A and B are shown apart, each in its own frame.
Chain A
């Protein structure tokens, strides 16, 4: 598949926003259970929720660039019974509203923040599932059609969100820097395990569709001689990434370094030295790595329609 930057930004930004919200809510629940020190309503929860809404809003904004007709985007709420994309379009603004309400409840001291946060957490999980299922539900994109897709979206989103939360806690002088950094490392390690599992799985995939099933001729040797046109078409642009195998390999190793070991080291160092800049660098490095990861996620998916476009003429 051709990686679209609008979707790369959408999925990585909302992942970070969701992770950041989960970090905030975890801090509140921890304080409620007397396991963590309580945090300031204004300086911590209200600003943190605002930042989460900014991440989510930026992702939503990026998603519009994927649409040919963005002015009709409101129509996407129609088919929530069948379409994961429609469900995501409903859940994302709902989640943004709930996070904003959560922040406002803290800011104005309205109480019931635990309840609002619990509802927002459900929406957060639903959003992760919707985003992942958009890709995982297409059964013939075999690289995507696995529960690992959803799990990776959840764990990678939590990793980057908690990394940001660690930097945020350090910047606001919160006592939770160490906790957040520890959880961020935990999520990063868990995401490494599941992402590595999906890489191994995808390497061993055997495509179900072959040229034989695509044209219905049961001969072992079929060679395409013409695809029907000399110039490009939507089919040759949308479903091929067009990058060299060397670049794809470089992106894979790039994200394997930038998303997992490097941020883990930076998180440990940042938490040890209580250094805000180091933690910010950890988030930025991991975010750039996640963009590479998402690019690779798309590039690796091999659409069966490509069988029909193997030779120009």
Chain B
């Protein structure tokens, strides 16, 4: 069974909010209708967003780390928001595990938002229905898009590749490997909701070069050091020097 998810690499995220704006741009322009804003250029701007980037400071000065923390629907494998919905508007798709809201059935009772410990559901104050991340379900299966662009808008926008998208139930997928090899974890595991989205923790950055990678491939005799270095005034590039 497929479970699509986002993997968010906190080691790489720079907190640029490109995923937020890209998400808003894509999802406010789609067939499901706009994501409404109020007072966008005035005193108390407010609006409906499906993705946010927050910033936390970890540690005590001077040993602090600034952690940028993107937060959107985690598409839980056991989503607490789904069984509480009285109309069945909130549902989890069997075929790919995406948690969705049917905007035509939602009555805007907000009970699902109460039942989500992560606070990732937001009421659209004008359409009066609950909105949440759809994993860009209208992008990822669109045959009109080039294969490489069939990814959520946030993933496409991330300049540092901090967001990976794929099937976490396929052990050979990029996202499963990322979780396995980089200590991927879930948020608030204490509630048993089993979020599909995982986060990759901060990691110590190391040089990952092996000694043999430092040697010239076209130097089988390993006699680099034996050749005379060019004089200072001579050209020093490989293809113009004599050796």
Contact surface of A with B, Cβ cutoff 8 Å: 1, 66-70, 72-73, 75-79, 82-86, 89, 134, 137-141, 208-209, 211, 213-217, 219, 221-235, 238-239, 303-306, 308-309
Question: Are A216 and B187 touching (Cβ within 8 A)?
Answer: yes
Decide: A69 near B187, CB < 8 A? Known: A82-B83, A138-B115, A228-B54.
no
Question: Are B84 and A216 touching (Cβ within 8 A)?
Answer: no
Decide: A85 near B86, CB < 8 A? Known: A1-B114, A227-B54.
yes
Question: Are B119 and A239 touching (Cβ within 8 A)?
Answer: yes
| B-side interface residues, number (CB < 8 Å) | 61
B193 to chain A, nearest CB (A): 9
Q: Does B141 make an interface contact (CB < 8 A)?
A: no
Which one of A134, A230, A234, A305 lies within 8 Å of B118 (CB-CB)? A305
Decide: A224 near B56, CB < 8 A? Known: A83-B86, A216-B185.
yes
Question: Are B84 and A309 touching (Cβ within 8 A)?
Answer: no
Question: Are A141 and B114 touching (Cβ within 8 A)?
Answer: yes
Per-residue contact bits, chain B 54-68, to A (CB 8 Å; 1 contact, 0 not): 111111100000110
Per-residue contact bits, chain B 168-210, to A (CB 8 Å; 1 contact, 0 not): 0000000000000000011111110000000101100000000
Question: Are A83 and B107 touching (Cβ within 8 A)?
Answer: no
Question: Are A213 and B59 touching (Cβ within 8 A)?
Answer: no
Decide: A68 near B86, CB < 8 A? Known: A213-B190, A232-B46.
no
List the 8 closest A-B pairs by CB distance, nearest first.
A68-B108, A305-B119, A68-B128, A86-B86, A228-B52, A82-B83, A76-B86, A75-B87
Q: Does B230 make an interface contact (CB < 8 A)?
A: no
Q: How far is the CA of A79 from the CA of B202 in the complex (A)?
A: 42
Question: Are A85 and B111 touching (Cβ within 8 A)?
Answer: yes
Which one of B122, B186, B188 lies within 8 Å of A234 (CB-CB)? B122
B218 to chain A, nearest CB (A): 46
Q: Which residue of B lies closest to A66 (CB)?
A: B109
Q: Does B162 make an interface contact (CB < 8 A)?
A: no
Q: Which residue of B lies closest to A209 (CB)?
A: B188
Which one of A78, A215, A239 lies within 8 Å of B56 (CB-CB)? A215
Decide: A78 near B57, CB < 8 A? Known: A225-B66, A233-B49, A238-B110.
no
Within 8 A of A (CB), among B75-100: 80, 82-89
B50 to chain A, nearest CB (A): 11
Q: Does B113 make an interface contact (CB < 8 A)?
A: yes
Decide: A214 near B123, CB < 8 A? Known: A69-B108, A83-B85, A230-B45.
no
Question: Are B188 and A304 touching (Cβ within 8 A)?
Answer: yes
Q: Which residue of A lies closest to B69 (CB)?
A: A215
Q: Which residue of B lies closest to A80 (CB)?
A: B86
| B155 CB contacts on chain A under 8 angstroms | none
Q: How far is the CA of A226 from the CA of B57 in the complex (A)?
A: 9
| A86 CB contacts on chain B under 8 angstroms | 86-87
Question: Are A79 and B119 touching (Cβ within 8 A)?
Answer: no
Question: Are A304 and B117 touching (Cβ within 8 A)?
Answer: yes
| B60 CB contacts on chain A under 8 angstroms | 221
Question: Are B117 and A79 touching (Cβ within 8 A)?
Answer: no
Question: Are B88 and A78 touching (Cβ within 8 A)?
Answer: yes
Other contacts beyond A68-B123, A233-B47, A305-B118: 13, CB < 8 A: A67-B109, A78-B87, A82-B82, A139-B80, A140-B188, A209-B190, A229-B52, A230-B45, A303-B117, A304-B118, A306-B119, A308-B71, A309-B119
Q: Which residue of B lies closest to A83 (CB)?
A: B86
| B20 CB contacts on chain A under 8 angstroms | 228
Which one of B52, B86, B113, B117 lies within 8 Å of A140 (CB-CB)? B117
B3 to chain A, nearest CB (A): 19
Question: Are B119 and A219 touching (Cβ within 8 A)?
Answer: no
| B69 CB contacts on chain A under 8 angstroms | 215
Interface centre among A67, A75, A304 (most CB of B within 10 A): A75
| B107 CB contacts on chain A under 8 angstroms | 67-70, 72-73, 75-76
A82 to chain B, nearest CB (A): 4
Q: How far is the CA of A229 from the CA of B49 in the complex (A)?
A: 10
Q: Does B12 make an interface contact (CB < 8 A)?
A: no
Question: Are A67 and B117 touching (Cβ within 8 A)?
Answer: no
Q: Which residue of B lies closest to A89 (CB)?
A: B86
Decide: A138 near B86, CB < 8 A? Known: A68-B129, A213-B190.
no
Which one of A77, A140, A215, A217 lies within 8 Å of B191 (CB-CB)? A140
Q: How far is the CA of A85 from the CA of B60 in the complex (A)?
A: 45
Q: Does B153 make an interface contact (CB < 8 A)?
A: no
Q: How far is the CA of A233 from the CA of B71 in the complex (A)?
A: 14
Q: Does B48 make an interface contact (CB < 8 A)?
A: yes
Decide: A226 near B47, CB < 8 A? Known: A67-B107, A68-B109, A303-B119.
no
| A304 CB contacts on chain B under 8 angstroms | 117-119, 188
| B238 CB contacts on chain A under 8 angstroms | none
Interface centre among B107, B122, B123 (most CB of A within 10 A): B107
